[in-house]
């Protein structure tokens, strides 16, 4: 490797670290993303043009065409994607990263003299193929589950045992290839197919409320696959980039599990069950519900001293983030103290609500994390829950039989008055009934979030 290329890789590595650091705060996230992108562009240009290989001109042309098409498609997707579709987009990006690693592994297996090379190289190649394949199909399955086209119901007896035996079989076959120096394309593609199938089996049974954890885990696997390809090519920038993504994904996965009071094993090997009611009249075992109007809700908030807004996925679906910011500004102008309560796993991916509200220019200081906001609910006059469900469900505290029992939630039930905006009484993403809706202090404000919030704003302006 030339000195020039080494320097370029060093600069690119530094930009990755700086960019990742800046992504930790909304005020610097945009510049951090740009810095990391510039570093990646430098690394790509250096890799293509600074090397010791004799490359035909046609290869440069094909690479240029591929980069142009990929950049154009990525740019179009980025500017057109709706905020509600961001989790699906993240899953697809994870999947394509895994697919790239698997393809690199297949190419390297074909080019290598398997019978005469070190077993560690063979193991690295097979690791890239298996992890890449699992990440690709698993991410596509997560994408399907997030957009609702794939359901989570698994009714096969002893499913986890079958699943575990399947991955053990894949690892056993890979071990046979490595230790036996077996040069077989048939076994290679069997491992590829096995990885693809396991990716589907791995994600299929995972419950809806656990999807933020799954996205983080798949993101980590993508980084690991990238790091493995960096080892194959002795490419430091690929190795460091993969390590950064992989380690960040693992840290985030652990943080999500802690936020839900669940172990990673329980997320992977367990799933939430559905016990929901579709009736607007309520669940007889829990009691009855009471409805309210935008006018009555506006009156409560107008004369309140402290209001906490709890955003959820329903807010994103309705694309009502700008209207809720207008509501917040209006209440603040009237002397009301307004804050947003942010649960770590609200939405469909880690940080979903933070990104959503940042898009509407909500001040970052107004977003209060769960640990800090929970003690404040006792002194809150009105809580407005917009599209959130599982993260405010008191069953996590009260019902040992509930699948979410023990999961830390926002203690909305402690507020003096609670207004919950939902389209209907349908269950949340975890598919379980919410006790909060039947609380005597709770009033249900049914309707599309954007319309309801617009009505609230109109009522407040007339007061």
Dihedral pair phi/psi, residue 383, rounded to 5°: -110, 130
What the block records as the tokens of 439 is: 């609380």
Residues 6+ away with beta carbon under 8 Å from 159: 205
The CA distance from 424 to 368, in Å, is 27
Compute the distance between CA of residue 169 and CA of residue 191 in angstroms, rounded to an integer: 10
- Three-state secondary-structure class, residue 3: helix
Q: What is the DSSP letter of 405?
A: T
Q: Please measure the distance between the N-terminal and C-terminal CA atoms of the chain and give it in whole angstroms.
A: 71
The DSSP letter of residue 338 is E
What would you report as the CA-atom Rg of the chain, rounded to the nearest whole angstrom?
25
Q: Which of 27, 113, 183, 390 is catalytic?
A: 390
Contact by Cβ (8 Å): 223, 99: no
* 216 CB burial (10 A radius; 0-12, 13-18, 19+): buried
Can you tell me the distance from the alpha carbon of 172 to that of 187, in angstroms, rounded to the nearest whole number? 12
**Sequence-ordered list of residues with C-beta below 8 angstroms from that of 38, at least 6 positions apart, any chain:** 15
CB 71 within 8 A of CB 37: no
Q: Is 233 helix (H, G, I), strand (E, B) or coil?
A: coil
Q: Is there a catalytic annotation at residue 381? A: no
CA dist., res. 137 & res. 203, Å (int): 9
Q: How many CA atoms lie within 13 A of 249 on its CB side?
A: 22
Burial (CB count <10 Å: 0-12, 13-18, 19+), residue 300? middle
Of 188, 199, 250, nearest to 220 (Cα)? 250
- Residues recognised as catalytic: 390
């Amino acid at each position: 490797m030339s000195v020039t290329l080494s320097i370029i890789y060093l600069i690119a590595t530094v930009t990755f670290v700086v960019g990742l650091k800046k992504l930790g705060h909304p005020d610097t996230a945009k510049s951090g993303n740009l810095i990391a992108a510039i570093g990646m562009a430098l690394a790509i240009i250096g890799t293509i043009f600074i090397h010791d290989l004799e490359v035909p001109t046609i290869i440069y042309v094909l690479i240029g065409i591929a980069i142009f098409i990929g950049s154009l498609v990525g740019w179009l997707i980025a500017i057109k994607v709706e905020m509600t579709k961001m989790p699906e987009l993240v899953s697809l990006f994870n999947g394509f990263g895994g697919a790239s690693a698997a393809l690199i592994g297949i190419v390297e297996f074909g080019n290598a003299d398997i019978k005469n090379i070190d077993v560690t190289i063979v193991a690295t190649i097979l690791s890239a193929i298996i992890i890449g394949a699992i990440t690709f199909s698993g991410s596509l399955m997560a994408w399907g589950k997030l957009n609702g086209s794939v359901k989570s119901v698994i009714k096969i007896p002893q499913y986890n045992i079958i699943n575990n035996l399947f991955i053990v079989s894949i690892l056993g076959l890979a071990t046979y290839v490595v230790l036996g120096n077996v040069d077989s394309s048939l076994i290679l593609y069997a491992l590829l197919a096995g990885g693809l199938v396991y990716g589907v089996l791995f994600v299929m049974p995972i419950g809806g409320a656990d999807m933020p954890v799954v996205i983080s885990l798949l993101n980590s696997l993508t980084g690991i696959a990238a790091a493995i390809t960096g080892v194959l090519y002795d490419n430091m920038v690929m190795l460091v980039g993969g390590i950064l993504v992989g380690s960040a994904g693992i840290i985030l996965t652990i943080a999500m599990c802690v936020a839900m009071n669940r172990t990673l094993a329980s997320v992977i090997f367990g799933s939430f069950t559905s016990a929901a009611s579709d009736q607007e009249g309520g669940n007889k075992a829990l009691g009855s519900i009471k409805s309210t109007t935008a006018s009555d809700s506006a009156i409560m908030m107008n004369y309140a001293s402290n209001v906490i807004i709890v955003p959820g996925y329903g807010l994103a679906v309705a694309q009502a983030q700008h209207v809720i910011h207008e509501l917040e500004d209006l209440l603040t102008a009237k002397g009301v103290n307004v804050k947003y309560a942010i649960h770590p796993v609200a939405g469909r991916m880690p940080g979903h609500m933070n990104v959503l509200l940042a898009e509407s220019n909500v001040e970052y200081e107004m977003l209060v994390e769960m640990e800090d906001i929970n003690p404040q609910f006792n002194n809150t006059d009105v809580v407005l829950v917009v599209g959130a469900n599982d993260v405010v469900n008191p069953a996590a505290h009260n019902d040992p039989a509930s699948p979410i029992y023990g999961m830390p939630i926002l203690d909305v039930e402690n507020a003096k008055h609670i207004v919950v905006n939902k389209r209907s009484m349908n269950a949340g993403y975890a598919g379980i009934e919410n006790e909060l809706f039947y609380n005597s202090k709770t009033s249900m404000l049914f309707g599309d979030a954007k319309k309801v919030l617009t009505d609230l704003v109109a009522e407040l302006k007339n007061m």
